[in-house]
Chain A
Amino acid sequence: MLELPTDIHSIQDAVEYVMQSCRDCSEQARRLDLNFRVGLTEALSNAMLYGNSQNPSKRVLVEVALQAGRLEARVTDQGSGFDPSTVPDPTTPENLTKPCGRGLFLMRQLLDEVSFNAQGNQVTLVLRLESGGTLEGGVQA
């Protein structure tokens, strides 16, 4: 479990910490390095930029667990939440040239499961790992 300040410059270090904590997943290297890394990065960005509105007094909680071949990350911000069903598809011709709106889309494309709590301030990402693996280094397993 990690608790982060709302500081976009802390995102990469937090993601690296989580990635380093997942051992023995070499067979799934690409799905970890691309899919999970992208998903977690986007979830943290959304939590800090939109959820907490970059308010440095607010925190972001990251919980990561690996059980039965499911690598799960739960990211919670201290914002009022949002309705994920209202986020438009960024790949349609009218949205393709917009600078924002690709984070949630990438999460949904790259993770096996993406779900939100009722308030919309907590996202849970799941990546299924065929070979299992373990988590080390202080990340909740």
Chain B
Amino acid sequence: MGFEVSQNGEVTLVEVEGQLIVGNRQELKQQVLEQLEGGDLKFVIDFANTGYIDSSGLGVLVSLSKKIREQGGELRLSSLNEDLRTLFELTKLDTLFRIADSKEQALEGF
């Protein structure tokens, strides 16, 4: 369980390995906020290797999206599996985020 952070041009890509849950959500928040404070404005969080996101994890994504937008940036999400997409649809968070099928698609034209 962890996060892989890499740079793709101007875009910061964060890949979530395992789960995004109450026990590790603060770690993701801290990593993204550090990049934001360093001047990064474009973020993609990829869930290709993520099994589960709980409501605390969803909350962190909402919070990060708000903070990034306040700085003039954007947070995009990618590679949600069927279960994760169900959680986003139930909570209507699919209307709040731009969600791509893959990280490549999310990075395209960002």
Binds B, one of A68-76, A93-101, A118-126, A130-138: A93-101
Chain A interface size, as a band, is: 20 to 34
Contact with B along A13-42 (1 / 0, CB 8 A): 000000000000000001001100110011
Q: Contacts A11-B22, A12-B23 given: A45-B92 contact, CB under 8 Å?
A: no
A12→B19 contact, CB < 8 A: yes
Is residue B95 contacting chain A, with contact meaning CB distance below 8 A?
Answer: yes
- Pair count A-B, CB < 8 A: 63
Contacts of A110 in B (CB 8 A): 90
Q: Contacts A96-B92, A96-B93, A96-B95 given: A41-B59 contact, CB under 8 Å?
A: no
Contacts of A33 in B (CB 8 A): 83
Chain B interface size, as a band, is: 20 to 34
Residues of B that sit less than 8 Å from A by CB: 19, 21-23, 52, 54-56, 58-60, 62-63, 66, 83, 86-87, 90-93, 95-96
Residues of A that sit less than 8 Å from B by CB: 8-9, 11-12, 30, 33-34, 37-38, 41-42, 45, 49, 90-91, 96-100, 102-103, 105-106, 109-110
18 contacts between A and B (CB under 8 A): A33-B83, A34-B83, A38-B87, A41-B21, A41-B54, A45-B55, A49-B22, A91-B92, A96-B96, A97-B66, A99-B59, A99-B60, A102-B59, A102-B91, A103-B54, A105-B55, A106-B90, A110-B90
